[in-house]
Structure 1
Amino acid sequence: MWKRLISLSLTFGLAAAGPPASAQMVCGLHESITGTLESTYDEALVGRGLQSATRMLEVWRAAEEGNWTILAVHPDGLACVVASGEAWIDVPPRPAGVAASAYRAAESEE
């Protein structure tokens, strides 16, 4: 995961000096970051939602490798990597009308 974050940082020209890598935010043009996610990490957009009136979150993941990235996208085209990692597992959504506690109990029995 850290290799991916550092690679993205270097790709978008961030200096190595400054706060620790865990505190650095990788930002750039949405087209540039998503192009790198597609070409270098084989990730594809799998979901998005509004976080606020001025920010949308996107989830990108690779189907085979399990790596994933979450982007915060601003109206001006700026995108920032909020988080990235490995071993993504899809979890089916809870059906409408089923209580969360009943759904969790059914999952734990499997």
Structure 2
Amino acid sequence: MWKRLISLSLTFGLAALGPPASAQMTCGSRETIRGTLETVYQESLVGRGLQSSTRMVEVWRASEQGNWTILVVTPEGLTCIVASGVAWSDATPKPLGVESQYRPG
């Protein structure tokens, strides 16, 4: 009896520590998500790259508002929003071999 009670308590206690339901990814067809990003958020595609042989990562952003979204797209067109935010800032890439001005510590 006590073992079962302790096991149930641990199980429900650990479940309470999990991420909230709102932290789940939003997924849908690429066309639907693309349309929403373009029309509702005024975002446009600014870059993409292969994460693996079966996944492509896309970065979308709105140049004036500064909001941004990162998508993962599968070959079948399933598209998931993995991150989004505000206050996007472009970084100027440094040529290879140039040391950074920042030195920790």
- Coarse TM-score class (shorter-chain normalised): 0.7 to 0.9
Question: Which has more radius of gyration?
Answer: 2
SS in 1 for 2:40: helix
SS of the residue corresponding to residue 41 of structure 1 reads: coil
1:80 maps to what in 2?
80
Count of residue pairs the alignment pairs up:
84
1:31-42 to 2 correspondences below 5 Å: 31-42=31-42
Q: Deviations over 1:54-105 (max 9, x none)?
A: 000000000000000000000001100000000000001111232xxx22x1
Could you tell me how far apart the structure 2 residues matched to 1:30 and 1:60 are?
Answer: 13
Root-mean-square deviation (Å): 1.4
**Matched residue, 1:21:** 22
Amino acid across the alignment from 2:21: P
In the superposition, the TM-score normalised over structure 1's length comes to 0.72
Distance 1:30 1:94 in 2: 33
Higher helix fraction (1 or 2): 1
TM-score (norm: length of structure 2) = 0.75
Aligned counterparts of 2:95 and 2:65: Cα–Cα separation in 1: 28
In structure 2, distance between residues paired with 1:91 and 1:37: 22
- Structure 1 runs of 4+ with >4 Å offset: none
Hey, what does 1:70 align to over in structure 2? 70
Question: In 1, distance between residues paired with 2:21 and 2:54?
Answer: 28
Amino acid paired to 1:29 = S
Measure, in 2, the Cα distance between the counterparts of 1:84 and 1:28: 16
Unaligned runs of 5+ in 2: 1-19
